[in-house]
Structure 1
């Protein structure tokens, strides 16, 4: 699905696009991948995801701290 540039998307069409994008995002696609495939900006896709109520993932993967014993330091 590629959308014409500089065309305003409103109403039912926007709602349908937001649901489509949210479904793909929930399946694992990144915002950047979605933006590239649809032909819109990162910010536009981010806004659509917010409008669709999609829970946004955090950036950069797992940031949980490791236990001190597995940090590789001397015991």
Structure 2
């Protein structure tokens, strides 16, 4: 079901409740593969809150904010706030 083509309503329109489960599975699969909520919101034309709600209702464990996956390689923060 996650690879099924989802027809996203235009912004401001409600999603059909019958299709909401398929939409949640589609979002969940992409989030679990590393997509960010903001990316998913932009791809679907839906709000951050909408995407977050569907993921939460689908039982997705959220990554911590500012998780290590978003840092540039080699930027471990070791040089911040330190004096020698």
- What's the TM-score, normalizing by structure 2? 0.67
In structure 1, the gaps of 5 or more residues are 63-70
Q: Specify the alignment match of 1:16 in structure 2.
A: 22
Pair 1:36-2:39 in alignment: no
Of the candidates 67, 74, 79, which is equivalent to residue 61 of structure 1? 67
Residue segments in structure 2 that go unaligned for 5+ positions in a row: 1-5, 69-77
How far apart, CA to CA, are the structure 1 residues paired with 2:30 and 2:47? 16
Instruction: Name whichever structure is richer in helix by fraction.
Output: 1
Task: Name the SS for the 2:15 alignment partner.
Answer: coil
